[in-house]
Amino acid sequence: MAFRRRVRTVLELLAAQPDERILDAGCGHGFYLRLLADLGCQRSVGVECRAAWLEQGRAELADSGPQLVRGDVCRLPCADGSFDKAILSEVIEHVADDHAALTETRRVLRPGGVAVITVPHANYPLLWDPINKFLERVFGTHLPREPLWLGGIYADHYRLYTPDGLVDRLHSAGFRVTDVRKLTHYCVPFAHHLYYGLGKSLLLSGWLPRSLRGAADRFRYRDPPAGAANPIALAIRGLRAIDRANDRGTEFRTYLNIAVRAVRT
């Protein structure tokens, strides 16, 4: 449910237009590229360092215009000023040098170009990862970033961010921040371990039956909805019911994500 809210926020802040050239830096399997293609943005480019993810993404995007390129977000294989807008969604926390990733993004954007960045919030909800929250509060430490199934919210993450800290990083990289949003407070217990440690691993492994895999696969959003008795469909309806509480206008104390719109100066 946090991913769904994050994607909608990214698209809103990006406000992509069909004639724009858009970069998805650290694009993973290319989900944002699929959405952009469906919105008429055929000139998008995704950069991803993992070869296996690129191949899966190319299979998903074979019938659309966006391109997938292998590369490092800290050394983008793109010309200066070659993009109108850029997405870095859940990316810079995965790289050792987040300043390099941000300055590279600025380099490939035209003057006045827009970047939309999302990162994990350092003050995340207790229920999202009770283990790490307990370790932080009591011992001032957290689980290691490897192995992925164990790390919880720190899985493959060098750092988490506060809103002010993220804004400072963007300013130092040559951006002007125009919008900051905090996303997702209400969730279910051990959400990170359940979704990413277990659920995503099962989905990518191919071990799930086809009916369950289809209901869980984010790329299948254009397919007819799964039957009412499908266990994944039932779980998703339950999660969306919980997520509706996040639509309240209240300012919460903890959040899972930060989303930022920044302009290249």
Which whole number is the average pLDDT over 13-21?
A: 96
Q: pLDDT band for position 48 (50/70/90)?
A: very high
* Burial track 96-123 (b if 16+ CB lie within 10 A, e otherwise): eebebbbebbbbbbeeebbbbbbbbbbb
| Torsion sign across C-alpha atoms 255, 92, 43, 214 | negative
In the predicted structure, residue 233 carries a pLDDT above the cut 90:
no
Average pLDDT value for residue range 103-112: 98
Which one-letter DSSP state was computed for residue 159? -
CA distance 211 to 209: 6
pLDDT tens digits, one per residue of 137-161: 999 999 999 887 788 899 999 999 9
Q: What is the mean pLDDT of residues 27-34?
A: 95
Rounded to whole angstroms, the maximal C-alpha distance in the chain is: 52
Alpha-helix residue ranges (DSSP H) falling in 61-126: 98-108
Q: In the chain, what are the domains?
A: 2-264 (3.40.50.150)
Please determine, for residue 214, whether its predicted confidence score (pLDDT) is greater than 80: no
